[in-house]
Amino acid sequence: MSNDSLIFPPTDSENQTHTILEDVPLTDLTRIRSKRLREIFHFWQDNLGVNRVPAWSTFDPMGFTDLLPAISVYSNEGTLEQPDFLLRLEGELSAKFFNVPTTMTKVSEIQTHKQKDYLVNHLATAIRQGEPSYIVRNLGWNKGRNYIEYEILSLPFDKNNNGIANKVLCAKVFRNKFSSLNS
């Protein structure tokens, strides 16, 4: 799907967030538009080992320094049945776009009701299924009428080395019709 074929929202819905593509779990790697997100997906895949999700200790953020301003790291402090997500880290760029804190905040305290429900369901699906997910959404129009779209690749990890997904890394790429906004 090229950016040329995207349907942009009319100006009367500028403040809404629109889902353009949702692949939960990720079933088709070719849908990932960003080369960097495909690379981080391959890293995740290469570190699967014998468990259904890679150990968190295998993730080296220094291999993806250009994505650090737009990553989120969540951990499940609850159970699979009753997840309780904690935002451990939010990159400065995505914190600015989503208006969220950058560290250690319960998801239930940082989002509006609708956003929180969507995010909790998305994260819960990632840890239950132990599979990556991929979403393309837009933030509507910013000042200057530049349309901002983002890709988000969510990758579950195992922080306790027991084969159970309990941490989710969300890598994002923001762009407008002119260029990437991550740099």
Q: According to the model, what pLDDT value does residue 38 have?
A: 94
Q: Are 39 and 150 a contacting pair, CB within 8 Å?
A: no
60 within some domain: yes
7 within some domain: no
Number of structural domains found in the chain? 1
Q: According to the model, what pLDDT value does residue 153 have?
A: 95
**Pair of tokens at residue 1:** 């799907």
**Helices of type H across the chain:** 35-46, 92-98, 107-110, 113-129
2 within some domain: no
183 within some domain: no
Phi, psi of 147 (to 5 degrees): -75, 130
> Could you tell me the mean pLDDT of each successive run of 10 residues in the chain, 183 residues long?
34 52 82 93 90 91 92 93 92 87 86 71 90 85 65 94 91 79 66
Q: According to the model, what pLDDT value does residue 10 have?
A: 39
Q: What is the CATH number of the domain that holds 72?
A: 3.30.450.20
11 within some domain: no
46 within some domain: yes
Cα separation, 62 vs 78, in Å, equals 29
Query: What is the domain extent for residue 44?
Result: 16-175
Q: According to the model, what pLDDT value does residue 37 have?
A: 95
130 within some domain: yes
What residues have CB less than 8 Å from 146, skipping those under 6 apart?
A: 176, 177, 178
- Taking each continuous run of H as one helix and of E as one strand, the counts in the chain are 4, 7
1 within some domain: no
Q: According to the model, what pLDDT value does residue 6 have?
A: 32
Q: According to the model, what pLDDT value does residue 15 have?
A: 43
